[in-house]
Amino acid sequence: MPPPLDVAVPASAEIEALLTASVGVPTTVERIEPLHHPWVLRAHLAEATGLPGTVIVKCLRPEGYGLRSAAELARCEHAALAFIADDLRLDLAPGLRAATPDSRLLVLEDLYPRTELAGLLHRDGHTPALDAELTAFASSMGELAAASAGRGALFNARRTALGTSTDRLGDWEHAHTGLWRIGLVRAAAFGVPLSAAAERDLEAAVTELADPGPFLALTNGDSESHNFLTGPGGGGKLIDFEGAGFRHALTSATGFTVPGPDWLGVSGPAQVEAFRRALARTVPEAEDDHRFGFGLAAAAMVWVMMRTGRLKTLDTRSPGNSSRIQMVALLESGARTAEAHRVLPHLTAWCRSTADLLRRRWPDTDVDSAAVAPYTWRER
């Protein structure tokens, strides 16, 4: 299927010129292959170019998302990939082969035959082998946070040079964190308002994320398993840095404690510990049980609050819809995370009472959410 008309697909000649200028050897594109997203393409190259046989070409999206325009998303990814490779000296992300000065086109290392970890989990379920891949994923994110902590000025300098903003609030709230406000309002409208004490807990969680202290580090802004590519030989890579920014490092570990958009349950402790060990290499505060636990619970609870904005929508869905089960599981896993670290007790109580109410209102969700197999796919 051809890309929609509002995605500007580059001509082969433009890709050839970019690569020729980058590698210093004339480069020929033999064909361009569309991939899953219309703004992501695979270019097949002629032999003897000094490059592998294929590269990935990312074009401007048709529109932005979150707090960033399409152009800002592209410039941010450009800056992040250069920062990771050249400033941090990490081999955790695809190499940047070439880019237009305005970041309209990015030519990246092709990571094939690696594939999305989320796709493998969806296909095979939570096997021991994939649990090991999840741990590698967590370690990679922890390694990125550890290497980048305290180096935000370098990243921001790269973004500024490319003409994009370095607004700290925009980084923190990209792409979903600020939506906790909507969740708060919609929870009240649904009939489950937070008590004053629960709101104070939520405010404490939000404050923790807004002022991370030593936990301020680079994240890609979408730390879910579809953004980790793995393969038979290991050597997984993080992808999709359009939402990259310096924010609380533990937002990258949230997806191991509470389910993201794809799942009804997650695995948890082994991955969180792997992330923590990697982070603690340069951030000793990660070894402090209370500081680490509060940050992790804060990130989990803000995610839960953001997702509660869907309560009214889910109420209209048919019995048995897995999104309704996911909401109960989400509330209860958020509560378990906070309980494990003995923090945010009033917000925890709200999560528990709201989950109980939903079980009564939606009898089909009255299941043991803790017994749901990790990485059970949510049918949307």
Identify the residue whose tokens are 């000793």. 284
pLDDT surpasses 90 at 165 = no
Torsion sign, CA atoms 47, 51, 56, 58: negative
For residues 166-176, give the mean pLDDT. 73
pLDDT at 3: 46
Percent of the chain with pLDDT over 70: 97
pTM of the model: 0.94
CATH 3.90.1150.10 is the classification of domain 12-109: no
Higher local confidence (pLDDT), 64 or 353:
353
Q: Residue 135: which pLDDT band, with cuts at 50, 70 and 90?
A: very high
Q: Residue 175: which pLDDT band, with cuts at 50, 70 and 90?
A: low
Q: Residue 48: which pLDDT band, with cuts at 50, 70 and 90?
A: low
pLDDT at 176: 67
Q: Residue 174: which pLDDT band, with cuts at 50, 70 and 90?
A: low
Summarize pLDDT for 185-231 with one digit per residue, the tens: 999 999 999 999 999 999 999 999 999 999 999 999 999 999 999 98
pLDDT surpasses 60 at 2 = no
CATH superfamily of 117-371: Aminoglycoside phosphotransferase (APH), C-terminal lobe (3.90.1200.10)
pLDDT at 5: 45
pLDDT at 66: 78
pLDDT surpasses 90 at 169 = no
pLDDT at 27: 93
Q: What is the rounded average pLDDT for all residues in the chain?
A: 93
pLDDT at 115: 95
pLDDT at 65: 84
Specify which of 130-134, 173-177, 179-183 reaches the highest per-range mean pLDDT: 130-134
Nearest to 225 by CA among 264, 255, 258: 255
Summarize pLDDT for 283-338 with one digit per residue, the tens: 999 999 999 999 999 999 999 999 999 999 999 999 999 999 999 999 999 999 99
Percent of the chain with pLDDT over 90: 84
For residues 169-193, give the mean pLDDT. 86
pLDDT surpasses 80 at 49 = no
For residues 70-93, give the mean pLDDT. 97
Q: Residue 1: which pLDDT band, with cuts at 50, 70 and 90?
A: very low
pLDDT at 23: 87
pLDDT surpasses 80 at 77 = yes
pLDDT at 231: 85
For residues 57-61, give the mean pLDDT. 95
Ordered DSSP codes for 255-323: GGTS--TTBS----HHHHHHHHHHHHTT-GGGG-HHHHHHHHHHHHHHHHHHHGGGHHHHHTSPTT-HH
Domains 12-109 and 117-371 share a fold: no
3-class DSSP string for 212-235: CHHHEEEECCCCCHHHEEECCCCC
So where are the chain's domains? 12-109, 117-371
Which class for 156: exposed (0-12), middle (13-18), buried (19 or more C-beta within 10 A)? buried
